[in-house]
Amino acid sequence: MIRRTIDAAVASGAAIAAVPAHDTVKRAGADGVITATLPREEIFLAQTPQAFRVDVLRAALAVAGDATDEAALAERAGHPVRVVEGDVRNLKVTTPDDLAIAERLLGGGGPAPVRIGNGYDLHRLVAGRPLILGGVTIPFDKGLQGHSDADAVCHAVTDAILGAAGAGDIGRHFPDTDPAWKGANSIELLRRACGIVGAAGYAIVNVDVTVIAQKPKLSPHAPAMQQNLATALGVAPDQISVKGKTNEGVDSMGAGESIAVHAVALLYRS
């Protein structure tokens, strides 16, 4: 619908999405008495988006007077406004009743059916430790310092899925003050976190991971990390994305002193 509206505006200068009126439309005077029955095949209910070439929009906004939308101003300025096919599901929230309808469409006014979580982790690189990311031991002369195996990929993903489910973070469930988690396998911690998320009524849609490391090169290991994460989360590998980025020599990541990971998770109410 957005694409249709933009394409029409490119061609004609201005366009709006709208749906045709299916009810009989009446015009009434101030006294409430009907003065005319309008041909409904000529009546359209305006929606958003509305799209304009910049010159047309500037001319429209220069027109004085009140209007309920920019299209009306464009009409007054003498520009043709084309109607393209809208969608009855494209609900405009204008009144409290509209908001109630929108809430019902999104899941009965209860919790939203989809949730997004963000995770972040950073560990210092030190000698004498294995470098483990996404459950993969990567050949390198340094590893990540931490209480567990310091797998920053798993830690960031764990925080992302727990956060999306409103279930706290990795520190709440697996605190580094507890000797039970010393040297723990972070893939196993992620699997446990996935169980917490499932018990809260959510399932994984997809997870996107960005690893920031100047060295070593991570792209050869990304497929194995992707598979390990998918197995721990109980999803297909194509629901997981793992990307490696350098920090262009900036800050501790760029100096090769640390590795940071960002993760985003999308869950749905199962």
The domain segmentation of the chain, as residue ranges, is 2-105, 114-269
pLDDT at 112: 64
How many Cα atoms are found within 13 Å in the side-chain-facing hemisphere of 141? 3
Domain 2-105 fold is Spore Coat Polysaccharide Biosynthesis Protein SpsA; Chain A (3.90.550)
pLDDT at 185: 94
Which residues does residue 245 pair with via DSSP β-bridges, in sequence order? 212
pLDDT at 111: 59
Instruction: State pLDDT tens for residues 165-189.
Output: 999 999 999 988 888 889 899 999 9
Distance, CA of 7 to CA of 15 (rounded, Å)? 9
Domain 114-269 fold is 60s Ribosomal Protein L30; Chain: A; (3.30.1330)
> Which segments within the chain are labelled E, that is strand?
14-20, 25-28, 34-38, 44-52, 82-85, 114-126, 131-133, 136-138, 143-144, 202-212, 240-245, 258-269
pLDDT at 58: 95
Q: What is the pLDDT along the chain (270 residues), one digit of tens a residue?
A: 999 999 999 999 999 999 999 999 999 999 999 999 999 999 999 999 999 999 999 999 999 888 999 999 999 999 999 999 999 888 888 899 988 888 777 765 555 688 999 999 999 999 999 999 999 999 999 999 998 999 999 999 999 999 999 999 999 999 888 888 898 999 999 999 999 999 999 999 999 999 999 999 999 999 999 999 999 999 999 999 999 999 999 999 999 999 999 999 999 987
Per DSSP bridges, beta strands 14-20 and 82-85 are parallel
pLDDT at 102: 81
pLDDT at 227: 97
